[in-house]
Amino acid sequence: MFGLIGKIVGIAIVVFIVLILISCVKIVQQAQALVVERLGAYQATWGVGIHFKIPFLERVARRVDLKEQVVDFAPQPVITKDNVTMQIDTVVFYQITDPKLFCYGVANPIMAIENLTATTLRNIIGDLELDQTLTSRETINTKMRASLDVATDPWGIKVNRVELKNIIPPSAIRDAMEKQMKAERERREAILRAEGEKKSTILVAEGHKESAILDAEAEKQAAILRAEAQKEKMIKEAEGQAEAILKVQQANADGIRFLKEAGADEAVLTMKSLEAFVKAADGKATKIIIPSEIQSIAGLVKSVVEVGTDSKQD
């Protein structure tokens, strides 16, 4: 009986020892760290890998996550320089860089960051007016990140970014802003409409101007073409008249030459010249000057005609 009890106790002791040994083996995962204490005092910070602690003397005080973390704080009431109270909520991106300082630097790191964020935000917004607050998000973010990073450095925390998530002015301010924006949009619309009408009027005037210029240019070209056509017509008519006169003179010359070749006397030649003068007048001249030689021949012809007439009467 006692032997059986002794075996059970022995087995229990062995199992207990094995469990203790197993509990002393610690495996640290990636992006994590273990803060180890020995007899209540800080002993070491274990990084990634397998580690062994002394049973009953050492203990893991805290497992710390080294990844970047995000915390969204509730809206905080702040007062601007022009005494406007608004609600602003922030988002803080932080990362633990020193697990030892994170464990022993501050009791509640997240609450400490939240309170520090609220006080820093009030200090920054208190120096800005409402319009500056609404249009200076990037400036506020930069100032807050710099202030929080310096303040949290003794806690082993690095603040990477701070973002203003929402800026909520009072309802009366929001209504006034909406009315102001509506008036501004209406003003811009009126300006754009006036500019459009102005441009349209200018374009119409330019169109009329270009049309008038084109019409004048067309009239000019038409007048030039008409003048050129008239000139060409006159040239053609002059050339035709000159050619006609040349042909008439050529025919007269050919006739006189023919009479000479036929043995005609001077009186006949003179009569042909007289006929040429008559043709030259063409019935349009009011006065023809005839040389004296032709006048004598004409008198002779008249006498001959009269003699011929008297002979017929007898």
| The domain boundary residue, chosen from 146, 169, 192 | 169
Both tokens of 295, joined, read: 């006048």
Return the pLDDT at 162. Answer: 92
Return the pLDDT at 34. Answer: 92
Q: Give the CATH number of the domain where residue 129 resides.
A: 3.30.479.30
| β-sheet bridge partners, residue 46 | 34
Percent above pLDDT 70 for the chain: 80
Domain identity same for 112 and 75: yes
The residue ranking higher by pLDDT, 248 or 274, is: 248
For residue 114, the enclosing domain spans 69-169
Domain identity same for 105 and 149: yes
Domain identity same for 84 and 45: no
Measured CA to CA, the distance from residue 177 to residue 223 in angstroms comes to: 68
Measured CA to CA, the distance from residue 116 to residue 110 in angstroms comes to: 10
Return the pLDDT at 93. Answer: 94
Domain identity same for 40 and 96: no
Domain count, the chain: 3
Are 27 and 62 a contacting pair, CB within 8 Å?
no
Q: How far is CA 112 from the centre of its chain?
A: 50
Domain identity same for 53 and 94: no
Measured CA to CA, the distance from residue 78 to residue 86 in angstroms comes to: 6
Rg (CA), the chain: 64
Measured CA to CA, the distance from residue 255 to residue 52 in angstroms comes to: 152
The answer as to whether 246 is a domain residue is: no
Are 99 and 33 a contacting pair, CB within 8 Å?
yes
Instruction: Note the pLDDT tens digit of each residue in 3-32.
Output: 677 777 778 888 888 888 887 888 888 889
Alpha-helix residue ranges (DSSP H) falling in 105-170: 109-125, 130-135, 137-152
Element (H, E) at 2: helix 2-23
Domain identity same for 76 and 163: yes
pLDDT, average across residues 61-89: 89
| The domain boundary residue, chosen from 169, 195, 227 | 169
Residue 312: band (very low, low, confident or very high) from pLDDT cuts 50, 70, 90: very low
The answer as to whether 231 is a domain residue is: no
Domain identity same for 20 and 92: no
The answer as to whether 180 is a domain residue is: no
The answer as to whether 259 is a domain residue is: no
Q: Give the CATH number of the domain where residue 27 resides.
A: 2.30.30
The answer as to whether 31 is a domain residue is: yes
Instruction: Note the pLDDT tens digit of each residue in 203-254.
Output: 888 888 888 898 888 888 888 888 888 888 888 888 888 788 888 778 777 7
β-sheet with 58-65: strand ranges across: 41-46, 32-38, 58-65
Asked if the model's pLDDT at residue 273 lies above 80, the reply is no
Asked if the model's pLDDT at residue 282 lies above 60, the reply is no
Q: Any idea which of 67-81, 125-139, 256-270, 298-312 has the lowest mean pLDDT? A: 298-312
pTM: 0.54
